[in-house]
Amino acid sequence: EQFYNMEDVWEIPKERFAGKEQLVEPYYVVMKLPGEDRERFMLMLPFTPRQKSNMIAWMAAHCDPDDYGKMTVFRFPKGRLIFGPIQVEARIDQDPRISEYLTLWSQRGSQVIRGNLLVIPVAASVLYVEPLYLQAEQNQIPQLKKVIVASSKRVVMANNLWDALEQLLRAGGDKGGTTTLALQQEQIKTASSGAKEPTDRYIQQLIDRVWSHIQQFERARRDGDWAGMEREWSSIKRILRQLRSSARKGS
């Protein structure tokens, strides 16, 4: 019935690349799927509802030899606004600091090239990453100048990906950071348990744990340890969710 009524129809979203709108192209990532322990090499593509801009799901085509050709689809929860690529592009356009940089570079005679926007699921969150290139008139080779990283509520720009992620973490976790998602997949089940009234000591312990994992994240960043960064990021997000839940119980 949904098929004949054209309900729940998905389409490939649009992004802005080099000043023009185009369909998002599939891109390769190395990441862990929710609920799994090992990293996988996959080809990813986000989806939006038909004639809408918010993101509704993403699909991953496995490229590792043991699962080559297998596809996994993750749906986002209904009733939650998850920004699609073109919506994130608009938020980047509206950021005063980024707009100031783009205007300044253009006035100096350089061509600003905004690269492909990547939608990257990280643990139970979604990050959006877009590189900024400068191409001088006398030199036709684009140079990576900045990296933009966005979450559900914040947009930051830095000289490289690691610094941008650090800015996002310093922004205050879930309050200004990534959207916590209950990604729906048939094979993944979540369990919940009751919690006692939080104490000040318990909350302080959670805060101390966050800072400990931030230090571990920084160490992994300096070492170029992608797996370690993802592991620490997941721990940070998990503890921040506990903090948010504790704050609600204590209010």
> Is the domain of 125 the same as that of 46?
yes
Q: Are 229 and 221 in contact (CB under 8 A)?
A: yes
Range of the domain at 36: 10-190
Question: Looking at the structure, do residues 81 and 144 belong to the same domain, yes or no?
Answer: yes
Assess whether 139 and 43 both reside in one domain.
yes
Residues with Cβ < 8 Å from 137, sequence gap 6 or more?
109, 110, 111
Apex 156 CA angle, 96 and 167, nearest 5: 135
- Is the pLDDT confidence value at 230 over 60? yes
Q: Output 164 or 109, whichever has higher pLDDT.
A: 164
Inside any domain, residue 204:
yes
Do 210 and 95 share a structural domain?
no
Question: Is 156 a member of any domain?
Answer: yes
pLDDT at 35: 72
Assess whether 103 and 123 both reside in one domain: yes
Tell whether 123 and 151 lie within a shared domain: yes
- Report the pLDDT value the prediction gives residue 182, as an integer from 0 to 100: 41
Are 45 and 131 found together in one domain? yes
> Quick one: pLDDT band at residue 130, thresholds 50, 70, 90?
very high
The answer to whether residues 124 and 180 touch, using CB atoms and an 8 Å cutoff, is yes
Q: Taking 60 as the threshold, does the pLDDT of residue 216 lie above it?
A: yes
How many domains, in total, are found in the chain?
Answer: 2
Residue 2 lies in a domain: no
Model's pTM, two decimal places? Answer: 0.65
Report the alpha-carbon distance of residue 66 to residue 115 in Å, rounded: 32
Q: What is the pLDDT of residue 245?
A: 67
Residue of 145 and 197 predicted with greater confidence: 145
- Give the chain's mean pLDDT: 77
In a 10 Å sphere around its CB, with 0-12 CB exposed, 13-18 middle and 19+ buried, how is residue 19 labelled? Answer: exposed
**Residue 189 clears pLDDT 60, i.e. is over it:** no
The verdict on residue 4 lying in a domain is no
- pLDDT reading at 148 higher than 90: yes
If asked whether residues 74 and 168 sit together in one domain, one would say yes
Q: Which residue's entry shows tokens 């610094």?
A: 163
Residue at 83 is within a domain: yes
What pLDDT, in 10s, does the model give residues 48-77? 998 898 999 989 899 888 888 889 888 888
User: Which of 39-43, 170-174, 190-194, 197-201 has the largest mean confidence?
Assistant: 39-43
List the structure tokens of 53. 């801009």
